[in-house]
Structure 1
């Protein structure tokens, strides 16, 4: 899976191709933050950044944004959060390949 992601999504060419999309999404985030600042609204940056990250990931992988209602009751953002937590978890097999058989599933 990591090899496919690296070759298909994280190559220099793909990253360059998605730059305008990333800029657009960041511009949208900045505009919403400016609007919130103008009216004195408190903003939870963790939620906003997670939302932008999920939107960018969906656009990159699926070619469109998905709202929580487009999926099951758990919602895409929750699935993305769980996926990111799992992907970021320490994996002994990454550092010691001969131990991969001992990994928990």
Structure 2
């Protein structure tokens, strides 16, 4: 996506050396990741499998809008659309709603917001190489916190999936 652009410190740190698909350098690894994403994650077959998830979340969204309209309440449409999108994506990835547990939803929103803020922030060290190791703007500390929060959240999700898989296997063995 951002092929062969100058590497920014925040992006490089948060993506573990730009080993991701979006900010990775163009080459054989990037081509492999693009092919994998397009065939396995964004392919028509995969998206068709998640159509019921999308329909369910849209139905919930419309019901919420109707309920608030009946009560005459104000609605933050942008916020609700963001919640809808987050719920669809999180159900596709983690099989659970992002807004089902408000603490987890807030945690996800906070990490996403901080990541966007830090990757978009002007960093002198990106443009003046001699300042690279000085962290004059104290962005390094915040980057470390965001990456640790993301890793903790990801590890928790993976452990939940592993536990669910083990429970499913135990149920299947009993039957």
Check 1:53–1:82 CA distance in 2 against 1; reply closer, same or farther (3 A cut).
Answer: farther
Indicate the residue corresponding to 1:29 in structure 2.
Answer: 61
- After TM superposition, the score normalised by the length of structure 2 is 0.42
**Could you give the per-residue CA deviations for residues 24-69 of structure 1, whole angstroms, max 9, x where no partner exists?**
0000000000000001001011100000101111111112123341
- After TM superposition, the score normalised by the length of structure 1 is 0.66
Flag structure 2 segments of 5+ consecutive residues without an equivalent: 1-20, 23-33, 121-175
Q: Structure 1 stretches (4+) deviating beyond 3 angstroms?
A: 78-83
How many residue pairs get aligned? The number is: 84
1:1-105 matches, within 5 Å, as 1=21, 3=34, 4-66=36-98, 67-70=101-104, 75-80=107-112
- For 1:18 and 1:68, the matched residues in 2 are separated by 23
- For 1:5 and 1:49, the matched residues in 2 are separated by 25
Q: Is the 8 A contact 1:51 1:77 kept in 2?
A: no
Check 1:45–1:57 CA distance in 2 against 1; reply closer, same or farther (3 A cut).
Answer: same
What's the Cα RMSD here? 2.5
Greater RCO structure (CA 8 Å; 6+ sep)? 2
- For 1:68 and 1:24, the matched residues in 2 are separated by 19
Check 1:68–1:61 CA distance in 2 against 1; reply closer, same or farther (3 A cut).
Answer: same
**Alpha-carbon shift at residue 79 of structure 1 (Å):** 3.4
Larger Rg: 1 or 2?
Answer: 2
